[in-house]
Structure 1
């Protein structure tokens, strides 16, 4: 069987659940259930809790915090500078900031960073979202 060969299988659900699912995927712009299910499966497979802690991943940490936190957050980001690719800082209002940190590295280390951010006193929200990285193939110079 080829890697990209489509495989058909049946799924049983109660009618109410199917109707709710159909409304949801129509609202999201899916043309059919198969596309929506494929996306749900892909999302489940890259959940940080499903990946091995030693896997190389890339992703983001999204956080909302009170602006008084800046110094502690900067110090923490310097400790994890090898894993941080980029950051974007947005002022939501006079008190709150949104920050998006693009990260890349071993999942265990990225989880440590996210957890270290989450426990900072002024952090309202911090979530790590990642995807598995395929190992790079050596380039041939032919």
Structure 2
């Protein structure tokens, strides 16, 4: 939010028990007030891949957890990553325990293609979790989150 942008006040109604839970949560997260916490929730909601235009260029991650003992799953995942090599910038593979692996794909491309990749991963037998998280990118590769300056 720019310094010149006007703040608009509005009211929110919710059950007492819900607001008490919310207040405890935001206090644990270090927020001084509800307004900033709600602004952050709103920003996060606006950055979900489902709220973006399919042809919008974004950068982000696909985080997945899978059982590497499932027959051919590691090979299938590798082949899928090769199929989408143009969208995958980097990968990180972590062994969580004897069975489970955590893999992080750093991605960039059109929302529609990245959603497609995430969904193709999610439906594979043995994949317990696969989530796409993205942020806007302009044609020069800058994100729209924070200004970037060099000293």
Is the TM value for this pair above 0.5? Answer: yes
- Residue of structure 1 aligned with 2:97, choices 77, 85, 93: 93
CA RMSD of aligned residues (A): 1.8
For 1:42-57, what aligned pairs fall within 5 Å after superposition? 42-57=43-58
Q: Which runs of 5+ in 2 are unaligned?
A: 142-151
SS in 2 for 1:19: helix
CA distance in 2, matches of 1:17, 1:95: 38
Aligned residues: 136
Asked if residue 33 in structure 1 is aligned to residue 34 in structure 2, the reply is yes
TM (norm. structure 1) is 0.87
Q: Which runs of 5+ in 1 are unaligned?
A: 138-142
1:3, CA displacement in angstroms?
A: 6.2
Give the structure 1 partner of residue 107 of structure 2. 103
TM (norm. structure 2) is 0.82
Asked if residue 123 in structure 1 is aligned to residue 108 in structure 2, the reply is no
CA distance in 2, matches of 1:81, 1:3: 42
